[in-house]
């Protein structure tokens, strides 16, 4: 467990591993203040969940906790959901309005954990009926949690003929529309063990899970579909492009090129925030179109967060990470929160953090 780090531009972590440096663009903190939000993001490569907010003096506040292979995030009211290596967690805010803890106005405490096994869970959502739904990438399906089993399958792509632990198409992204799960992304339509690896360049697709129709194809390792302001946004990660799907023609419309491999997408007002990763030096990331674009633009791949103005397509703010963190997975906004933190499992703090709920009934003997 590492203590929280606070600095306006750079945060360094002295450990045996490479130092972590976080560099914010000049107006990033002002933008957080104007939007009255903070944010959280996961890096499964480093096994960390970060909380980004503002100190009372307006400087950047950075708080992190360690969770093995943490990936999907979903924030709703006072709850925060997160997937990890073999568990799905629900955190709850332990603070009352106006209350603070060590200078933080949001204290997330892990309250419920589901042991799912290593399903390679990617995106997670909670629909309008309160059902927790996650992308079970290992089994190529959407699923929900269960009190007695690892998961309950809810839906699988029409081209997947068998529920098997084979990661056939690399189903990864999930978008809600009108409060219900609606669209998913897959890297391919393969129906054999890890068949998606042969279709990384242009085999990706977007599927409407209500109609079972493929609404867009020819995508390159798509991630993080999101429905926002009557558009279906998506990260076309293999090309390094943020954009949306024209549902009338089934085509991807790029809005901005981002210097890296894209995962994680959230919206706030007129802005999108996307996660940016440095590609691993292995076959999964080799031969993807964004590598050539980086060379053409004479830039090296980066890791961090980019804030994109939806009105212009310009990248207006950045949060760059260097050192131990090289890959991102998901990002979520925390509206109305200035400086969030969370309780982890590696100190005694979780033993001393106790909240009492209210009850409208009493036991009568």
Instruction: Give the pLDDT of residue 276.
Output: 97
Pairing of strands 213-219, 222-228: unpaired
144: CB partners within 8 A, 6+ apart:
131, 132, 133, 134, 151, 152, 154
Across 124-146, average pLDDT: 98
- For residue 332, name the pLDDT band (cuts at 50, 70, 90): very high
Instruction: Give the pLDDT of residue 348.
Output: 85
Output the average pLDDT for the chain: 93
**18 or 88: which carries more pLDDT confidence?**
88
Q: Is residue 228 part of a domain?
A: yes
Q: Is residue 47 part of a domain?
A: no
- For residue 296, name the pLDDT band (cuts at 50, 70, 90): very high
Q: What's the number of domains the chain is made of? A: 1
Residue 4 has pLDDT above 60, yes or no: no
Residue 187 has pLDDT above 50, yes or no: yes
Containing structural domain, residue 246: 116-258
Q: How far apart are CA 72 and CA 146, in angstroms?
A: 18
- For residue 10, name the pLDDT band (cuts at 50, 70, 90): very low
* Cα torsion through 80, 82, 88, 91, rounded to 10: -30
Q: Is residue 106 part of a domain?
A: no
- For residue 135, name the pLDDT band (cuts at 50, 70, 90): very high
Are 273 and 265 a contacting pair, CB within 8 Å?
yes
Residue 283 has pLDDT above 80, yes or no: no
Strand partners, 36: none
Q: How far apart are CA 261 and CA 91, in angstroms?
A: 28
The pLDDT tens digits of the residues spanning 98-117 come to 999 999 999 999 999 999 99
First to last CA, the chain: 46
Q: Is residue 172 part of a domain?
A: yes
The pLDDT tens digits of the residues spanning 156-180 come to 999 999 999 999 999 999 999 999 9
* CATH number, domain with residue 171: 2.120.10.30
Are 124 and 81 a contacting pair, CB within 8 Å?
yes
Segment 9-12 long-range contacts (CB within 8 Å, at least 24 positions apart) = 9/60, 11/60, 11/62
Residue 333 has pLDDT above 60, yes or no: yes
Q: Is residue 79 part of a domain?
A: no
- For residue 134, name the pLDDT band (cuts at 50, 70, 90): very high
Residue 6 has pLDDT above 60, yes or no: no
Q: Is residue 245 part of a domain?
A: yes
Segment 205-208 long-range contacts (CB within 8 Å, at least 24 positions apart) = 206/232, 206/234, 206/245, 207/157, 207/183, 208/182, 208/183
Instruction: Give the pLDDT of residue 352.
Output: 87
Q: Is residue 152 part of a domain?
A: yes
Q: How far apart are CA 188 and CA 184, in angstroms?
A: 12
Q: How far apart are CA 134 and CA 281, in angstroms?
A: 28
Q: Which string of b and e fits 8-20 if b means at least 16 CB within 10 Å?
A: beebebeeeeeeb
């Amino acid at each position: 467990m590492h203590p929280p780090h606070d600095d306006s531009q750079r945060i360094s972590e002295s450990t045996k591993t490479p130092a972590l440096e976080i560099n914010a663009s000049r107006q990033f903190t002002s933008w957080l203040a104007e939007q009255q939000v903070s944010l959280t993001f996961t890096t499964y490569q480093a096994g960390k969940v970060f909380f980004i907010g503002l100190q009372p003096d307006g400087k950047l506040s950075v708080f992190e906790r360690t969770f093995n292979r943490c990936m999907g995030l979903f924030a709703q009211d006072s709850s925060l959901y997160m997937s990890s290596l073999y568990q799905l967690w629900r955190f709850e805010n332990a603070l009352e309005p106006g209350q603070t803890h060590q200078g933080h106005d949001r204290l997330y405490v892990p309250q419920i954990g589901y042991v799912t096994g290593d399903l390679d869970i990617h995106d997670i959502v909670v629909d309008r009926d309160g059902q927790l739904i996650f992308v079970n990438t290992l089994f190529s399906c959407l699923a929900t949690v269960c009190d007695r089993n690892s998961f309950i399958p809810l839906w699988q792509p029409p081209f997947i003929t068998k529920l098997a632990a084979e990661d056939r198409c690399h189903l990864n992204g999930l978008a809600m529309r009108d409060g219900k799960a609606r669209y998913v992304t897959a890297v391919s339509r393969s129906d054999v063990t890890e068949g998606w690896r042969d279709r990384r360049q242009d085999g990706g697709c977007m599927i409407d899970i209500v109609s079972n129709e493929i609404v867009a194809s020819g995508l390159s390792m798509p991630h993080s579909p999101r429905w926002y302001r009557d558009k279906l946004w998506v990260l076309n990660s293999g090309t390094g492009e943020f954009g949306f799907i024209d549902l009338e023609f089934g085509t991807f419309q790029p809005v901005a090129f981002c210097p890296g491999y894209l995962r994680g997408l959230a919206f706030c007002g007129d802005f999108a925030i996307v996660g940016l990763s440095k590609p691993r030096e292995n076959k999964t990331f080799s031969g993807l179109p964004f590598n050539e674009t980086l060379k053409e633009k004479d830039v090296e791949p980066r890791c961090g967060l980019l804030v994109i103005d939806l009105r212009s397509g310009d990248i207006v703010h950045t949060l760059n990470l260097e050192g131990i963190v090289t890959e991102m997975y998901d990002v979520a906004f925390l509206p109305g929160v200035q400086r969030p933190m969370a309780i982890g499992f590696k100190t005694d703090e979780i033993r001393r953090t106790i909240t009492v709920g209210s009850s409208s009934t009493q036991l009568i003997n």
